[in-house]
Chain A
């Protein structure tokens, strides 16, 4: 017969063991990685192939948020229990986040071994986190309108393109912001020469402006614009569909539109978050996504098919044409810039 004292001891022991063991059990049961990711074709590949394979290999669940806006949601969530473990956004937003302590400033090969194999731009001082892919921002144009292939950013100012040139609503689109900085470089002293940029922007009127790159693709396809600022993947993704559009890399260089992954400092599954970034940098995963959406892979070891290799930034020489803006500098002046460009382009 068990005495009352023994029963209490056994009970306390079981309770203590349960309490000690609980976190491990809980961890095993609810290991969920919360990430942000894009929609469209990228989202289709992620949901159909990449994420299920990651979940299987790492025995976890990935909760992928495709509903914008990511940064305000992250800002509004507690820092010690953030809404996301891995934030996937463009570089401009990552810089906003790092200033507020919402993401890590650097990711090194120590945490993510595959970082050792990326091109220097992917972890340069213009990047917080790591860029897993990039697009080249240049000029898209119609091939059926009698236009010569653009060779310079200045070609967009051709008077023949009045009303049929396109760019973006600068306060809300990073391609528009890149274009503005590029105007400073082309017509002034450099990317940060805003006065020259404003003056050049004035000369581009009348110009059609849109919010998203997807809209610009459709404007080009429908012929509503003949030449526009766009990233290469926005044009190349129509490869083989017999569309009269093409992409031109201006001789002054192309701007980088990086796809950046970063980890939130308060993440409860930081190791899994790093594993996810490492996974996204694996050559096979990089190849799958690069050929699916025409993004240039960051991993130097990736070997793409010939038609992708020909067009995307897959060598040190091609990557050297990328110009990375200083988003920290830009974000610090964004309010003033927004007010100024809105005044210039209103109506």
Chain B
């Protein structure tokens, strides 16, 4: 029997992966999801670079005039500085309070643990505008007015649950035997915490810190009632600006906010390696 010479057509399928409809659907879905998440940012960027004195599409050119306006307007730059400062304070406070709460909750021997978890998470359940209004009234009735520390506390209130959540996620896989081993070897509780516990939960705590920073930096509903004249945060200033002037400065401000938030995430990733948390 004469062997049939293989044709080009019959040899090709041996090197080609079979058509996988599931994988194609998976990639398409991922692509659509990315588009959904990134398209608004792309649109904001287009508006920020469009030189027309109004937001329009398609753009007629590329200009940095709105970025120049943003950085040349004291209301914007002062608000940006204040927002960054508040977000920095909130990050520190949230990490300390949220981390401590998560540790207490995760130990498992705390009475009313379920209730306490619900209590700490409750700021996420309430509409933020009501939290802001309630705090506004509390501050006024107690005679303290609307101090900047009140705004920091208010932001911390809504940011702490994020730190608790991310830290609890890390603690869920935490091996307590490592702490016990350190203690058996003679380490004091304080040393165990700083040299064993903290390094292990650090990715979760700092991931929560990043959330806290961003939640505070972008916080609008809670700030709305608590800001004072000449002490407005960036989102509040942008909202008020939009009522009278809807130009590219708003888009430029948004781009600056996005880039700042991204910078914080990248810096923290470089410093503490947030990827470790993502892999959990």
Give me the interface of A with B, judged by CB distance under 8 Å. Answer: 38-43, 63-69, 72-73, 76-78, 81, 83, 212, 214-215, 217-219, 221-222, 224
Which B215-240 residues sit within 8 Å CB-CB of chain A?
Answer: 224-225, 227-229, 232, 236, 239-240
Tell me, in angstroms, the Cα distance from A245 to B73 when the chains sit together.
28
**Beyond A63-B229, A65-B229, is A76–B243 a contact (Cβ under 8 Å)?**
no
Shortest Cβ distance from B146 into A: residue: A83
Checking B53, B137, B236 against A67 with a beta-carbon cut-off of 8 angstroms, the contacting residue is B236
B115 at the A interface (CB under 8 A)? no
B54 in the interface (beta carbon within 8 A): yes
* Option from B53, B136, B244, B246 in Cβ contact (under 8 Å) with A73: B136
| Nearest CB on A from B129, distance (A) | 10
Nearest-CB residue, chain B, relative to A81? B140
Contact of B180 with A by CB under 8 A? no
Closest residue of chain B to A64 (Cβ to Cβ) is B229
Cβ-defined contact, A214 with B246, below 8 A: yes
Given A41-B244, A73-B225, CB of A222 within 8 Å of CB of B55: yes
- Which residues of A lie under 8 Å from residue B240 when comparing CB positions? 39, 66-68
A81 to B229, CA, bound (A): 17
Contact of A83 among B133, B140, B232 (CB under 8 A): B140
Query: Are A212 and B243 touching (Cβ within 8 A)?
Result: yes
The answer to whether B244 touches A218 (Cβ under 8 A) is no
Kindly list chain B residues whose C-beta atoms are within 8 Å of the C-beta of A214. Answer: 242-246
Residues from chain B with Cβ under 8 Å of A221 in the complex: 53-54
Residues 114-141 of chain B, each 1 if its beta carbon lies under 8 Å from chain A, else 0:
0000000000000000000100110011
**Smallest Cβ distance from B54 to chain A, in angstroms?**
4
Residue of B nearest to A77 (CB): B140
Question: What 8 A-B pairs come out closest when comparing CB atoms?
Answer: A40-B244, A218-B54, A222-B56, A212-B243, A222-B54, A221-B54, A218-B246, A65-B229
| Cβ contacts under 8 Å, A63 to chain B | 228-229
Q: Across the interface, do B133 and A72 meet the contact criterion of CB distance under 8 Å?
A: yes
- Measured CA separation A215–B239 after assembly (Å): 12
Closest to B54 in A: A218
- What distance in Å separates the Cβ of B236 from its nearest Cβ neighbour in chain A? 5
Contacts of A222 in B (CB 8 A): 52, 54-56
Cα A41 to Cα B244 in complex, Å, equals 8
- B140 A67 Cβ-Cβ under 8 A: no
Are B140 and A68 in contact, CB atoms less than 8 angstroms apart? Answer: no
Instruction: Out of A39, A41, A64, A73, name the residue touching B243 (CB < 8 Å).
Output: A39
Identify the closest chain A residue to B247 (Cβ): A218
List 19 A-B pairs, Cβ < 8 Å: A39-B241, A39-B243, A39-B244, A40-B241, A63-B229, A67-B229, A67-B232, A68-B243, A72-B225, A73-B136, A76-B137, A212-B244, A212-B246, A214-B243, A214-B246, A217-B54, A219-B54, A222-B56, A224-B56
On whether the beta carbons of A78 and B141 are closer than 8 Å, the reply is yes
* Distance to closest chain A CB from B146 (angstroms): 9
Interface residues of B in 150-183 (CB under 8 A from A): none
Which of B136, B242, B246 is within 8 Å of A76, CB to CB? B136
- Of listed B54, B227, B240, B247, residue having the most chain A CB within 10 A: B54
A218 contacts which chain B residues (CB < 8 A)?
A: 54-55, 246-247
How far does the alpha carbon of A32 sit from the alpha carbon of B54 in the complex, in Å? 38
A83 to B137, CA, bound (A): 11
With beta carbons under 8 angstroms apart, the residue of A38, A69, A72, A78 that contacts B140 is A78
Chain A residue numbers with a CB within 8 Å of B228 are 63, 65
| Interchain CB contact under 8 A, A68 and B137 | no
Chain A residues with CB under 8 Å of B227's CB are 67
What B residues does A76 contact at CB under 8 A?
Answer: 133, 136-137, 140, 225
B109 nearest CB across to chain A (Å): 42
Q: Output the least CB separation between A206 and chain B (Å).
A: 19
Quick one: given A65-B229, A68-B240, A222-B52, are A215 and B140 in contact (CB under 8 Å)?
Answer: no
